[in-house]
Amino acid sequence: MRALCVVGTGLIGGSLLRAARAAGRECWGVAASDGTASAARADGFDVNTDLDAALRRAAEADALVLVAVPLPAVEGVLKRVDAVAPTVRMTDAVSVKVAVADAVATFAPRARYVGGHPMAGTAESGWAAGDGELFRGAAWVVIADDGADLDVWKDVAELAWACGSRVVPAAADEHDLAVARISHLPHLLAAVLATVGAGEPDDDLALALSASSFADGTRVAGTRPELTLAMCEGNRPALLAAVDEALGRLGVMRGALASTGGLKATVESGYLARQRWASTREPLALEVSLDGPDALAELRELGRRGDVVGGWK
Amino acid sequence: MRALCVVGTGLIGGSLLRAARAAGRECWGVAASDGTASAARADGFDVNTDLDAALRRAAEADALVLVAVPLPAVEGVLKRVDAVAPTVRMTDAVSVKVAVADAVATFAPRARYVGGHPMAGTAESGWAAGDGELFRGAAWVVIADDGADLDVWKDVAELAWACGSRVVPAAADEHDLAVARISHLPHLLAAVLATVGAGEPDDDLALALSASSFADGTRVAGTRPELTLAMCEGNRPALLAAVDEALGRLGVMRGALASTGGLKATVESGYLARQRWASTREPLALEVSLDGPDALAELRELGRRGDVVGGWK
């Protein structure tokens, strides 16, 4: 089992260290502050604040480096990678993938990098909120763009399995568009629905009459605003495309409602889409071949079919 | 306890008969078909298909007539009311209130009508789906427009309490706008979100990556389309206003995302609105005075504050 060096020990990095240790892996981490490092050491983890030393140790041990810092902090980490461990095996847990791939190409171009996105989280943050079970049952996207190092791809997939996740291969740009549609857009529509539903500050009639359709449709509007903003604003180009599609469909619906009064097209399309969603809840875990020249294209195709990787020949 | 004549024995009418009988009331019903009437009689209820006879009996007993038929069938019932029981006490359970009030003014102008909307339902329909507990804990809107007969208003409120509901007074037009915002708009946004999230038919990646934000935001898109259509299309003018407000807010958000990238205004507004929603979950039940000249205005004001009627002096 490959050793793991986790850079960043917040909710995601801290949970990864716990999950990796529980799976029997050698692992160490780099915290942003002495306080966090002390808290992690008090919990028995090998964590300090010396990034260069942790990266050198990763290079010597041929370990996998996992970057689990917020997007704005990625550039600084990559510059240290290029300086002290330039060809290290590397992945990340940032929730957008094109921006990180671009940063790697610019600041750590020799790193053996394969992007990742374990799709799990809570409303909490920080080392203390970490949970070794956080990733169990979650989708863990492993980026399969052309040119990806298949050796490192396997490292990331094996780590995801060790954490109890499902391995979903995808292209970086397709990942960003997908999460815009199914994660970021829901947060924005929930915010707008909550605002429209609440109406004027001195009139609570509508809220008093609201039942489960409104409660469910606005649930994620209750997420702490800074978390929603960081997630959505970091995926701006893809999110803009998703918002434009939603606006276009709402505009067509508005026109139909105003002219003929008919909502059939909108409602039936939504119903069929929800049926399709239900049919994706039990993905097939398939064994793949990672040897041929089309291995990465086949991985991406598997992800588009809604299947997951169960192993390889 | 005032006797109850329920016209229409589908999910709502059938549940009302069960709840009224459980509360010890004399009650009888009118079914649209012999089959339904037989089924209701087999369950021990006094139900047949003779509308005129049921209405005459209501006039003789000074009973409350509750119209629980779909909106397109209301006109026909009102014409019979005007013909055989023109000044009867009357309410209804239709989910829009301005259209029914207009129909009453046209077709049964002498009826002592006070509109109502018990806000409960399931995905089922028909007599067999009825449930005497359907209305327990639900909001039951009782219309308090100027000119309403306060005697009948009390009849409707007492029936709502007998069924376990909360009594929420409102103006008919404010009711229609409120349900457009908190019930009909959520269904349309869920449909659009489901469609955008599902994307192209040959690409399930986004659906495969979806988690609770998408599942919750699209739940009501899984409602049977004919139910959603009947509900939304019946409230067209008010729904158009709610859709336009949502479109306006989404458009402003789209502009901010494209220019500065900032989503703070949208997300913080949604967060505050969801907090306001949470604060309305335990309404105050207040005792009101129904004697003064402003009694109806005060009832409407109570509903706007998010409170409910707990009794009267």
Per-residue pLDDT for B122 more than 80? no
pLDDT in tens, A25-40: 999 999 999 999 999 9
**Residue contact B270–A206, C-beta within 8 A:** no
Which of B134, B175, B263 to mutate to test binding with chain A, by most A CBs within 10 Å of its CB? Answer: B263
- Tell me how close the Cα of B95 comes to any Cα of chain A, in angstroms: 12
Give the mean pLDDT of A74-83. Answer: 98
Do B154 and B226 sit in the same domain of this protein?
Answer: no
- Give residue-wise pLDDT tens across range A212-271: 999 999 999 999 899 899 889 889 999 999 999 999 999 999 999 999 878 999 999 999
In this predicted structure, what is the pLDDT of residue B227? 87
Domain stop point among B128, B145, B170 = B170
Contact A304 B203 (CB under 8 A): yes
Q: What is the reported pLDDT for A124?
A: 82
Cβ pair B301, A223 in contact under 8 A:
no
User: What whole-number distance in Å separates Cα of residue A161 and Cα of residue A19?
Assistant: 11
pLDDT in tens, A127-145: 999 999 999 999 999 999 9
B112 pLDDT more than 90: yes
- Both tokens of residue A298? 């086949």
Residues of B in contact with A174 (CB under 8 A): 205
Same domain, A134 and A218: no
Give the span between the Cα atoms of B61 and B28, in whole angstroms.
12
Q: How far is A203 from chain B (nearest CA, A)?
A: 5
* B118 and B93 Cβ atoms separated by less than 8 Å: yes
Q: Is the CB of B267 less than 8 angstroms away from the CB of A228?
A: yes
Tell me how close the Cα of B23 comes to any Cα of chain A, in angstroms. Answer: 24
Q: How many CB atoms lie within 10 A of CB B226?
A: 12
- Asked if residue B289 belongs to a domain, the reply is no
**Same domain for A156 and A75:** yes
Task: Inspect the interface and report whether the beta carbons of A222 and B278 lie closer than 8 Å.
Answer: yes
On chain B, the residues whose CB falls within 8 A of the CB of A170 are 205
Average pLDDT over residues B200-205: 95
Q: How far apart are CA B25 and CA B246, in angstroms?
A: 44
Query: Are A166 and A56 within one domain?
Result: yes
Residues B139 and B182 in one domain: no
- B24 to chain A, closest Cα gap in Å: 28
- Over residues B164-179, mean pLDDT: 98
Domain end position, chosen among B253, B282, B299: B253
Nearest to B277 among A218, A223, A274 (CB): A218
CA-nearest residue to B181 within chain A is A197
pLDDT in tens, B231-261: 898 899 999 999 999 999 999 999 999 998 7
Residues B184 and B108 in one domain: no
- The beta-carbon neighbor of A280 closest among B208, B275, B304 is B208
- Tell me the pLDDT band of B66, cut-offs 50, 70 and 90: very high
Say whether pLDDT at B84 is over 80. yes
Give the pLDDT score at B152.
Answer: 98
Same domain, A132 and A82: yes
Sheet holding B139-143, edge to edge: B116-118, B139-143, B166-170, B308-312, B285-288
Task: Flag if A141 and B209 touch (Cβ within 8 Å).
Answer: yes
B154 pLDDT more than 90:
yes
Query: Confidence band (pLDDT; 50, 70, 90) for A123?
Result: confident
Q: Cite the DSSP H helix spans in chain A.
A: 11-22, 34-42, 51-61, 74-84, 98-107, 150-162, 172-179, 185-198, 205-209, 212-217, 225-233, 236-259, 264-279, 295-304
Q: Hey, are the CB atoms on B222 and A275 less than 8 Å from each other? A: yes
Q: What is the pLDDT of residue A190?
A: 98
Whether residues B128 and B10 share a domain: the answer is: yes
Residues of A in contact with B177 (CB under 8 A): 206
**How confident is the model at residue A230, as a pLDDT?**
87
Q: What is the pLDDT of residue B260?
A: 87
The verdict on a CB contact (< 8 Å) between B209 and A179 is: yes
Using 50, 70 and 90 to split pLDDT, how confident is the model at A53?
very high
| pLDDT for B298 beyond 80 | yes
Q: Is the pLDDT of residue A125 over 80?
A: yes
Instruction: Tell me whether residues B246 and A192 touch, CB distance under 8 A.
Output: yes
The mean per-residue pLDDT over the stretch B144-172 comes to: 97
Residue B301 lies in a domain: no
The residue-averaged pLDDT of B282-311 equals 95
A209 and B119 within 8 Å at the Cβ level: the answer is yes
Domain presence at residue B298: no
Confidence category of residue B296, pLDDT binned at 50, 70, 90: very high
Upper half-sphere CA count for residue B228 (Cβ side, 13 Å): 26
Q: Residue A278: count other Cβ atoms within 10 Å of its Cβ.
A: 13
A168:B247 CB<8 A: no
Band (pLDDT 50/70/90 cuts) for residue A302 is: very high
| Closest among A170, A304, A180 to A237, alpha carbons compared | A180
For the cut 90, the answer to whether the pLDDT of residue A121 exceeds it is no
Contact list, A269 vs chain B (CB under 8 Å): 191, 194-195
Query: How far is A172 from A97, CA to CA, in rounded Å?
Result: 5
Q: Tell me the average pLDDT of chain B.
A: 96
pLDDT at B55 over 80: yes
CA angle B31, B35, B38 (to 5 degrees): 80
Task: Sort out which chain A residues have CB atoms less than 8 A from B272's CB and list them.
Answer: 198
Residues of A within 8 A of B122 (CB-CB) are none
Chains A and B form CB pairs within 8 A to the count of 353
Beta-carbon separation of B303 and A221 below 8 A: no
**DSSP structure string for chain B:** ---EEEE--SHHHHHHHHHHHHTT--EEEE-SSHHHHHHHHHTT--EES-HHHHHHHHHHHTPEEEE-S-GGGHHHHHHHHHHH-TT-EEEE--S-SHHHHHHHHHH-TTSEE--EEE----S--SGGG--TTTTTT-EEEEE--TT--HHHHHHHHHHHHHTT-EEEEE-HHHHHHHHIIIIIHHHHHHHHHHHHHH-STT--HHHHH--HHHHHHTGGGGS-HHHHHHHHHTTHHHHHHHHHHHHHHHHHHHHHHHHT---HHHHHHHHHHHHHHHHTSS--EEEE--SSTTHHHHHHHHHHTT-EEEEE-
Transcribe A173-203 into DSSP letters. HHHHHHHIIIIIHHHHHHHHHHHHHH-STT-
What CA–CA distance (Å, rounded) separates A229 from B197?
20
Half-sphere exposure of residue B134: CA atoms within 13 angstroms, side-chain side: 26
Inter-chain touch B267–A138, beta carbons under 8 Å: no
- In degrees, rounded to 5, the angle at the alpha carbon of residue A273 between the alpha carbons of residues A268 and A277 is 150
Give residue B121's pLDDT band: very low, low, confident or very high (50, 70, 90). Answer: confident
Cβ of A270 within 8 Å of Cβ of B305? The answer is: no
pLDDT above 90 covers what percent of chain A?
94
Does the structure show a pLDDT above 80 at A67?
yes
pLDDT of residue A107 exceeding 80: yes
A99-107: average pLDDT: 97
The alpha-carbon gap from A86 to the nearest alpha carbon of chain B, in Å, equals 32
Q: What is the mean pLDDT of residues B85-91?
A: 98
Contact A169/A302 with Cβ under 8 angstroms? yes
Nearest to B196 among A139, A185, A261 (CB): A185
- Residues B123-139 have a mean pLDDT of 93
What is the DSSP code (8-state) at residue A24? T
**Cα A87 from Cα A105, distance rounded (Å):** 13
B218-233: per-residue pLDDT in tens?
Answer: 999 999 899 899 889 8
Q: Which residue among B198, B229, B253 closes a domain?
A: B253
d(CA B210, CA B187): 19
Which chain A residue has the Cα nearest residue B178? A206
Q: Mark yes or no for CB contact B208/A306 under 8 Å.
A: yes
Determine the distance in angstroms separating the CA of B92 from the nearest CA of chain A, rounded to an integer: 17
Best to test chain A binding among B267, B268, B272, B308 (most A CBs inside 10 Å) = B267
Domain that holds residue B192: 176-253
Does the pLDDT value for residue A122 go beyond 80? no
pLDDT score recorded for residue A260: 87
Name which of A234, A222, A240 is nearest A185 in CA terms: A240
Please tell me the distance from the alpha carbon of residue A107 to that of residue B70, in angstroms, as a whole number. 66
CATH number at B14 reads: 3.40.50.720
Tell whether B144 and B118 lie within a shared domain: yes
Is B18 within the bounds of a domain?
A: yes
Burial class (CB in 10 A: 0-12, 13-18, 19+), B256: middle
User: Are B149 and B211 in contact, with CB atoms under 8 Å apart?
Assistant: no
Average pLDDT (A51-72) is 97
Claim to verify: residue A111 and residue A183 sit in the same structural domain: no
Residue of B nearest to A302 (CA): B205
Asked whether residue B182 is domain-assigned, the answer is yes
Show the 3-state SS of B129-171.
HCCCCCCCCCEEEEECCCCCCHHHHHHHHHHHHHCCCEEEEEC
| Nearest residue on chain A to B232, alpha-carbon basis | A263
What is the domain count for chain A?
A: 2
- Min Cα distance B174 → chain A (Å) is 8
- A223, A249, A283 ranked by CB distance to B196: nearest: A249
- A113/A240 same-domain check: no
**Is B214 found in the same domain as B69?**
no
Do A277 and B183 count as a contact with CB atoms less than 8 A apart?
Answer: no
